Amino acid sequence: MQKKQKPVFKMDPEIEALARRARNDGGDDPPDPKKVVDELMRTFEEFKQANDENLKKRDALLEDKVNRINEAMNKFEPINQKLTLQEQQAKAMQDQLDRVETILNRPNLGNGDPVAQQNAEYRNAFDRIIRCHPDSAIFRRDPKDVEVIQKRMASLKSSDDAGAGYLLAPPDMQAEIIKDIVEMTPMRSIATVRTIGTGSLKQPKKTGTTTATRVGEIATRSDTGDPTYGMVEIYAPEMYTRVQVSQQMLEDSAYDLLAELREDSSEQFAYKEGYEYINGTGSPNQAEGILSNSSIAHVASGAAAAITADGMITLWGALKTGYTRNAVFGLNRSTVTAIRKLKDGQGGYLWIPGIATMQPNTILGTSYVEMPDMPNIGAGAFPVVYGDVRRGYIIVDRILVSFQVDYITGADNGLVTFRGRRRVGGGIRQADCIKKLEITAS
C-alpha cells in the first residue's frame, strides 16, 4: 500500500521573498516557510515567558530582554502586513480589478528583442555568479554562466577598467540609486477607491430616521418622525511637485534622470496621500483624515499615558457587530510592539501570531494594518483606530499622476523644469463604521 503523501506547504512568492529578508538570508537557496514559522513561534514563546516573569517582578534586565525579543519579532511584520493586505484585497472586487489593470499595463519585457534577451541572460548569470564564492558548486553545476560572462567581458572595449580591477556590473545594476525607504500608510488597500469625472463625488446619506411605537386598538396614531437626508461630498483637490535640474545634468547623467524624477514625484504623492488620510484637515485643498473627523467616536485607554488591555477591549467592543466582519485595527509598529505585552483578565495575550496557518497576526482576533502615519502612544494621542474602513472611508481619483518636462522656462539659465500633478481626495462617508482609542485615564 502506498503511503499517503503529506500536503505541500505553499507560500506566496512575494511572502517567500519577505521571509528570506526576515531571516537575513541572502543565499540562493529558496526560503523554507516552515523554518520561518518555527522561528516566529519559538521567538513568541520566549517572549511570553520573559514577559510573564517581568509582569510578576518588575526587573530592568527582564524588561530589556522583553524589549529585545519584541524588536526581533518586528522583522516578521512585513510578512504579516502582506498577508493582511491580501486578506483585505480579497474582500473587494475593486481591488481585483486593480490587479488585472496592473497586469495589463505592465511594460514589454523585451520578448523577441535579441539585445534585450542577451542583456537578461547576462544579468541573470551575473547575479548568480556574483553572489557565490569562486569555489561554489554553482560553477561546476552550471558552467554556462561563466561562459556567458566571459563572452560579455571580452566584448567590452571603451568601458572597461584600464587596470582590470573590477568586474563590470550590468547596466541596470550600475544605474541603481541608493535611496532611503519612504514609509506610507496603505489606506488604498483597505478603503473604497472611486474614479470620478468631475471635481467631487456626491452621495446621499440618511441623517435621520423614523421610530416605531405601540398603539392601542383605536388610539390616535400620530407622526413618529420623518426620515431626513443629506449629501456627502468628497473633493479631489490638486497636489503638485516642481523640480529644476540643469540641462547638462540631464545630458551627462549615467542613468535615466527623468524616470528617477517621475518615480520620486509618484512616491511623494503616495506619501502625502497616506498622511492626509490619517491627519488631513479636510480643508478645500486637503483630504480629510480619520483622526481629524470629529464625528468618529473615541474610547479611553484607561491610563493617562499608556495603552492598556482594558482600553483595547473597550475599543473592540465599541464597534457595532455588523461592522466587525471587515474590521481591522490601524496603528504604527511602535504601538504593535506595546500591544504584544498586553494580557486580558484571563491571562491570554491580545496579540497572537497567525502566519503558522498562513493567516495574518491578530489583535483580539482581528487583523491589523501597519500605518506609519498614526501617532505614537502618548497622553491625549489617538494611536489606534478600529473599524470597517472600506465602508467608512472613500478615496476619489480625478486625475492620475501626470508629468510635464519644460525646456523653455529656465532655458536662459540652463535649467529644465519638471512638473508633476495629481488630483485626489478622500474623506469619511460613514463615521459610525470606525472608532478610535484615546490615551487618557477617562
102 or 63, which is more confident? 63
Residue 274 and residue 184 in contact, taking contact as beta carbons nearer than 8 Å:
yes
pLDDT at 57 over 90: no
Nearest 5 degrees, angle CA 422-CA 389-CA 315? Answer: 140
Q: Say whether 428 sits in a helix, a strand or coil.
A: strand
Q: Say whether 387 sits in a helix, a strand or coil.
A: strand
The whole-number pLDDT of residue 442 equals 84
| CB crowding 105-143: b at 16 or more within 10 Å, else e | eeeeeeeeeeeeeebeebbebbebbeeeeeeeebeeeee
DSSP 226-284: --EEEEEEEE--EEEEEEEEEHHHHHH-SS-HHHHHHHHHHHHHHHHHHHHHHH-B--T
Spatial separation of the C-alpha atoms in residues 195 and 157, rounded to whole Å: 52
- The predicted model gives 376-387 an average pLDDT of 97
pLDDT in tens, 111-134: 556 666 666 666 666 665 555 555
pLDDT band at 72 (very low <50, low <70, confident <90, very high): confident
- The predicted model gives 225-231 an average pLDDT of 88
- The predicted model gives 415-435 an average pLDDT of 95
The whole-number pLDDT of residue 58 equals 79
Spatial separation of the C-alpha atoms in residues 193 and 398, rounded to whole Å: 11
DSSP 34-93: HHHHHHHHHHHHHHHHHHHHHHHS--HHHHHHHHHHHHHHGGGHHHHHHHHHHHHHHT-H
pLDDT band at 391 (very low <50, low <70, confident <90, very high): very high
pLDDT at 223 over 70: yes
pLDDT at 163 over 90: no
SS (H, E, C) 187-208: HHHCCEEEECCCCEEEEEEEEE
Lowest mean per-residue pLDDT among 22-31, 113-122, 300-309: 22-31
57 or 295, which is more confident? 295
Lowest mean per-residue pLDDT among 10-14, 144-148, 174-178: 10-14
**Domain limits, the chain:** 182-213+220-332+371-442
28 or 148, which is more confident? 148
pLDDT at 395 over 70: yes
The whole-number pLDDT of residue 12 equals 52
Mean pLDDT score across all residues of the chain? 80
The whole-number pLDDT of residue 331 equals 96
The whole-number pLDDT of residue 135 equals 54
Residue 273 and residue 287 in contact, taking contact as beta carbons nearer than 8 Å:
yes
- The predicted model gives 224-245 an average pLDDT of 91
Lowest mean per-residue pLDDT among 76-80, 195-199, 361-365: 76-80
The whole-number pLDDT of residue 109 equals 47
Q: Say whether 376 sits in a helix, a strand or coil.
A: coil
Residue 361 and residue 353 in contact, taking contact as beta carbons nearer than 8 Å:
yes
The whole-number pLDDT of residue 50 equals 84
Architecture of the domain spanning 182-213+220-332+371-442: 2-Layer Sandwich (3.30)
Q: Say whether 356 sits in a helix, a strand or coil.
A: helix
- Copy the grid coordinates of residue 184: 506610507
Neighbours of 180 (CB within 10 A): 5
**Phi–psi pair at 384, nearest 5 degrees:** -135, 135
Q: Enter the pTM of the model.
A: 0.70
The whole-number pLDDT of residue 48 equals 84
144-153, 173-182, 229-238 — most confident range: 229-238
Q: Say whether 151 sits in a helix, a strand or coil.
A: helix
Amino acid at 433: C
The whole-number pLDDT of residue 104 equals 56
pLDDT at 29 over 80: no
Amino acid at 70: N
The whole-number pLDDT of residue 96 equals 54
pLDDT at 89 over 80: no
